[in-house]
Amino acid sequence: MHGDADIASIGALVADPGRARILLALGDGRALPASVLADEAGVAASTASAHLSRLVKGGMLKVERHGRHRYFRLSGPEVGELIEALARISPPAPVRSLKQGSKAHAVRFARTCYDHLAGMLGTKLMEGLLEQNLLAGGDGVFDPEAARDDRLAAPGYDHDYRLTPAGIKDLKAFGIDFDSLPARRPLIRYCVDWSEQRHHLAGSLGAAIATRMIELGWVRKAGRSRALHVSDEGFTGLREQFGVELTPTNGH
Amino acid sequence: MHGDADIASIGALVADPGRARILLALGDGRALPASVLADEAGVAASTASAHLSRLVKGGMLKVERHGRHRYFRLSGPEVGELIEALARISPPAPVRSLKQGSKAHAVRFARTCYDHLAGMLGTKLMEGLLEQNLLAGGDGVFDPEAARDDRLAAPGYDHDYRLTPAGIKDLKAFGIDFDSLPARRPLIRYCVDWSEQRHHLAGSLGAAIATRMIELGWVRKAGRSRALHVSDEGFTGLREQFGVELTPTNGH
DNA sequence: CTCACGTTTCGCCCGTGAACGAAATGTCGT
DNA sequence: ACGACATTTCGTTCACGGGCGAAACGTGAG
């Protein structure tokens, strides 16, 4: 028999700024080599190595050998969920350099969250879908106070979003093939976006929309961070098809 | 404009064993005075005071003054969600004393999670509801591997549980008044139980069932922890009405 | 086979923060 | 107003863990 859960040991792993940056970089489930992560964390290779082995020993990361590189990734979705939960209540980090500043800006503007869209892009899209009545069942806002009514309600499960007939029609026109979506995964879920404190679309539909937008060239992965770059066609397409008013400058 | 999320600062708050025990004790949203929390954490009052003020400054806790006591509670549901996410991937804590051991045992056996039932009681009940076809749409298991199919899937939203006609009938007979349940809160949600790694029932139905069981005297709050005590009527009632085979000894 | 590169181990320095008791502060009950 | 109790502040001690560079290790490329 064992005792209570030792959450302090996990907390200690996250407590170091270098390790935290490593976790954030791996946040959407990608695999990255140690050297890149050292760079990402802003520490020497030896230091990063120590951090990485502690994270592996603690069960948060797992390793894959590929030639003389060692690729690290989150050991499971629960870890990603933890990172999201942490980011949601974390204060904004102090900006260390101009480059870091604009990089953080890009991540907040549009990024990947697992396999769907997040950041301002993700939440504005959700808003557009709701305004055009393609989606119904919630208002897209994250309101910690509302949940207080019945003490502390279950976390993040407070809305039942569903597609409207118009939504199915428009999304089919957009290029979503509903028949080919995985059966066992729910069509529509939502995440609370940590940078916007609003909802963005997840579930298999969220993933399909993200895939389709990349396919159309509306967005593309920017560099090796989770940030996404929105193309001109993306901006016009988002406005015309989903009523999303998004401009390259309204990020901050 | 601000930079990335500073999850390390939150991690540092959780990293200390004393603070972690405080957070765990407050995990379901209750308010407790500083002296009780000092006892719970196993440290001197002065030490606990320092911990508590750091947790408040960090935004994880808030204070309410009541006479010469100061009651602390989680500052919001997001914090509770974080604690659950942490506990889910944490190793079992080393047992420090016999008393702590049996206390941890009691918590794993049956406890409160926000306003519904968790621990072995909660997961066995979920299992019973599914076996008797009062509930459908999932199998009650938490399987991190299954989510791997489509990379890292959205966290914890992988099933769509729903009541069957038989479920509505039986639960009405059990004493649940469906008409009086809050409208804006979803009827059925689930949580991944950190001690059992299975699902237990949440949502307004989960809360109503918990309330009704307390009303019937099947369970009662044990002491000032989150643990619940199951009465003899509770054991027989659970078996007869929900097919739950639970004995006082199968906790470990 | 040997070189080059990615990664880990080692040894050392240094700063941070957790612990406690004692004493100060504050609040209630009588 | 006084004494009891809850809580915080203060001052000190002490241990743990992060940081780096140098050197060792291991693997793939030429």
Per-residue pLDDT tens over the stretch B162-198 = 899 999 999 999 999 999 888 777 788 888 888 888 8
List CB-based contacts (under 7 A) with strand D: A 12, 16-19, 43-44, 46-47, 50-51, 54, 67-68; B 33-35, 45-46, 48-50, 52-53, 68-70
CB of B20 under 7 A from strand C? no
Report the residue from B15, B60, B156 with minimal CB separation from A8: B15
Is pLDDT of A74 > 90? Answer: yes
The pLDDT of residue B167 is 95
The pLDDT assigned to B6 comes to 94
SS3 A239: helix
Can you tell me which residue has the tokens 């193309």? Answer: A231
Average pLDDT over residues A218-223: 88
CA of residue B48 to C1' of nucleotide C20, angstroms: 12
| Stretch A150-163: mean pLDDT | 58
Listed range (B16-25, B26-35, B74-83, B243-252) with the worst mean pLDDT: B243-252
* Type of residue found at A104: A
CA gap A45, A203 in Å, rounded: 37
Q: What is the mean pLDDT of residues B79-106?
A: 84
Residue A111 pLDDT exceeds 80 = yes
pLDDT top residue among B129 and B224: B129
Question: Quick one: pLDDT at residue A152?
Answer: 43
Contact A78 B8 (CB under 8 A): no
Separation between the CA of B52 and the C1’ of D2 (whole angstroms): 31
CA of B56 to C1' of D2 (A): 34
Residue A138 predicted with pLDDT over 90:
no
Mean pLDDT of A221-250: 88
Distance from CA of A137 to the nearest CA of B (A): 10
Higher pLDDT, B92 or B108: B108
pLDDT at B100 over 90: no
In the predicted model, is pLDDT for residue A230 greater than 70?
yes
**Residue B156 pLDDT greater than 60, yes or no:** no
What average pLDDT score do residues B49-62 get?
Answer: 96
Task: Determine the Cα–Cα distance for residues A196 and A25; give it in Å rounded to an integer.
Answer: 19
For position B250, what pLDDT does the model report?
54
pLDDT of residue A175: 95
* Residue B157 CB partners (closer than 8 Å, separation 6+): A157, A186, A189, A202, A203
The mean pLDDT of chain A is 86
Dig out the tokens for A234 from the structure. 């993306």
CA distance A228 to A26: 15
- How close A180 comes to chain B (CA, Å)? 13
The answer to whether the CB of A135 falls within 8 A of the CB of A162 is yes
What are the tens digits of pLDDT across the range A11-35?
A: 999 999 999 999 999 988 889 999 9
Q: Which residue has the higher pLDDT, B155 or A167?
A: A167
pLDDT score, position A158: 57
- Please report where in the chains the tokens 């308010």 appear, as a residue: B31
Q: Write the CB contacts of A225 (distance below 8 Å, at least 6 apart in sequence).
A: A25, A103, A106, A107, A111
Residue A160 has φ and ψ, to the nearest 5°, of -120, 85
| Statement: residue A251 has pLDDT above 50 | no
Nucleic strand C near CB of residue B51 (< 7 Å):
yes
CB atoms within 10 A of CB A221: 14
Q: For the segment B224-249, what is each residue's pLDDT rounded down to a tens digit?
A: 788 999 999 999 999 999 999 998 76
- DSSP codes, B158-188: ----EE-HHHHHHHHHHT--GGGS-SSS-S-
Mean pLDDT comparison of A188-192, B39-43, B104-108, highest-scoring range: B39-43
- Beta-carbon separation of B92 and A6 below 8 A: yes
**Most confident stretch, A152-166, B36-50, B145-159:** B36-50
Quick one: pLDDT at residue B67?
Answer: 85
B92/A4 CB distance under 8 A: yes
Q: Could you give phi then psi for residue A157, rounded to 5 degrees?
A: -115, 30
What 8-state DSSP symbol labels residue B153?
P
Q: Does the pLDDT of residue A236 top 60, yes or no?
A: yes
* Residue A100 pLDDT grade (very low, low, confident, very high; cuts 50, 70, 90): confident
**Cα A234–Cα A235–Cα A240 angle in degrees, nearest 5:** 95
Q: Is the CB of B15 under 7 A from strand C?
A: yes
Please list, in sequence order, all residues whose beta carbon lies within 8 angstroms of the beta carbon of residue A27, skipping any fewer than 6 positions away. Answer: A74, A80, A83, A84, A226
Q: How far is the CA of B22 from the C1' of D2 (A)?
A: 35
Q: Strand (E) positions, chain B?
A: 32-33, 61-66, 69-74, 111-113, 116-118, 135-136, 162-163, 189-192, 199-202, 219-221, 228-230
CA A250 to chain centre: 20
pLDDT class of A170 with cuts at 50, 70, 90: very high
10 Å CB burial of residue A4 (0-12, 13-18, 19+) is buried
Please list every residue in chain B whose beta carbon sits closer than 8 Å to the beta carbon of residue A61. Answer: none
SS3 A147: helix
Across A42-46, A186-190, A248-252, which has the greatest mean pLDDT? A42-46
CA dihedral B122, B127, B132, B133 (to 10 degrees): 100
Yes or no, beta carbons of B91 and A9 under 8 Å apart: yes
**SS3 breakdown of chain B: % helix, strand, coil, rounded to 5?**
45, 15, 35
Q: What is chain A's percent helix, strand, coil content, to nearest 5?
A: 45, 15, 35
In percent, the amount of chain B with pLDDT more than 90 equals 58
Q: Is the pLDDT of residue A64 over 70?
A: yes
pLDDT one-digit tens code per residue, B87-98: 999 988 767 677
In chain A, DSSP finds a helix count (H) and a strand count (E) of 10, 11
B91-109 average pLDDT score: 79
B144 pLDDT band, cuts 50/70/90, is low
Residue with tokens 């010469």: B68
% of chain B exceeding 70 in pLDDT: 89
Best A19, A75, A152 residue to mutate vs chain B (most B CBs within 10 Å): A152
Q: Residue range B92-108: average pLDDT?
A: 78
Q: How close does chain A come to B5, measured CA to CA in Å?
A: 5
Give me chain B's average pLDDT, please.
Answer: 86
Give the one of B59, B87, B194 whose C-beta lies nearest to A89's C-beta.
B59
Angstrom distance (rounded) from CA B1 to CA A175: 36
Query: In terms of DSSP H, where are the helices of A26-182?
Result: 34-41, 45-57, 77-88, 98-109, 119-131, 165-174
Chain B positions in Cβ-Cβ contact with residue A10 (cut-off 8 Å): 14, 86, 89-90
Task: Report whether pLDDT(A186) > 70.
Answer: yes
Q: Kindly determine whether residue A3 and residue B206, on different chains, have CB atoms separated by under 8 Å.
A: no
Mean per-residue pLDDT, A176-193 = 84
